[in-house]
């Protein structure tokens, strides 16, 4: 069964971001896609210290939720990351988590489908959305899209329940993501994954 891993970057397990993610989970259930929701935003997650431990050991030197989630991400067919908007960016906890999750794992993320979801009271949504999508687009992960940028508005879960367009965007996003996961599974059988070249570095004309 296909599986989507869902990260909630909010410290509120039942807040606005959670309400948006729940709307997606209902659709994944209808689509026969398994989900696992991980509450990240209420954990004590430090930032990357660029120590290089992961390049030798295949996991982060800080043995916390990042190392617990890494094998689940390796198995998953899709990743949804949700964040509240803090000063027009993702909140600090989910940023620290995403930096370390993506940097410390060397397994292929190619053709795992990614989706970012953001929740704001007023503004900063699209800047936050851009930041989160960049983890996917550096990793060979196709990004699922919807009928608007993937955002809801509110200060409480009750506000988001009244954001009918936001919730509609979440349902359409989950439907599109489900379709992509199923289609890529078929395409992998038929064509295999595309070749990935590595090793070239920017701005060094002699290649050294």
Ligand X SMILES: Cc1cc2nc3c(=O)[nH]c(=O)nc-3n(C[C@H](O)[C@H](O)[C@H](O)COP(=O)(O)O)c2cc1C
Shortest distance in whole angstroms from residue 123 CB to ligand X: 5
Instruction: State phi, psi for 50 to the nearest 5 degrees.
Output: 55, 40
Shortest distance in whole angstroms from residue 98 CB to ligand X: 16
Shortest distance in whole angstroms from residue 144 CB to ligand X: 20
78 or 84: whose CB is closer to ligand X? 84
Shortest distance in whole angstroms from residue 186 CB to ligand X: 35
16 or 69: whose CB is closer to ligand X? 16
122 or 198: whose CB is closer to ligand X? 122
Site residues (CB under 6 A) for ligand X?
10, 12, 15-18, 84-88, 119-124, 154-155
Q: Which residue is nearest to ligand X (CB)?
A: 15
């Amino acid at each position: 069964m296909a599986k989507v891993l869902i990260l909630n970057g909010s410290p509120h397990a039942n807040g606005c971001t959670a309400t948006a993610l729940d709307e997606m989970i209902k659709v994944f259930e209808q689509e026969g896609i398994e989900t696992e929701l991980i509450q990240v935003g209420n954990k004590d997650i430090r930032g990357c210290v660029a120590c290089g431990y992961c390049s030798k050991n295949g996991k982060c030197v800080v043995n916390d939720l990042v190392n617990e989630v890494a094998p689940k991400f390796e198995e998953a067919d899709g990743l949804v990351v949700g964040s509240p908007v803090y000063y027009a960016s993702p909140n600090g906890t989910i940023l620290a988590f995403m930096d370390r999750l993506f940097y410390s794992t060397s397994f292929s993320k190619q053709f795992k489908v990614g989706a970012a979801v953001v929740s704001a009271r007023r503004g900063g949504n699209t800047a936050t959305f851009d930041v989160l999508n960049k983890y996917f687009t550096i990793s060979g992960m196709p990004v699922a899209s919807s009928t608007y940028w993937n955002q809801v508005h509110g200060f409480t879960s009750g506000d988001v329940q009244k954001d009918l367009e936001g919730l509609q965007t979440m349902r359409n996003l989950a439907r599109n993501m489900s379709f992509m996961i199923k289609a890529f599974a078929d395409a992998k059988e038929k064509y295999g994954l595309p070749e990935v070249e590595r090793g070239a570095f920017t701005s060094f004309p002699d290649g050294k």
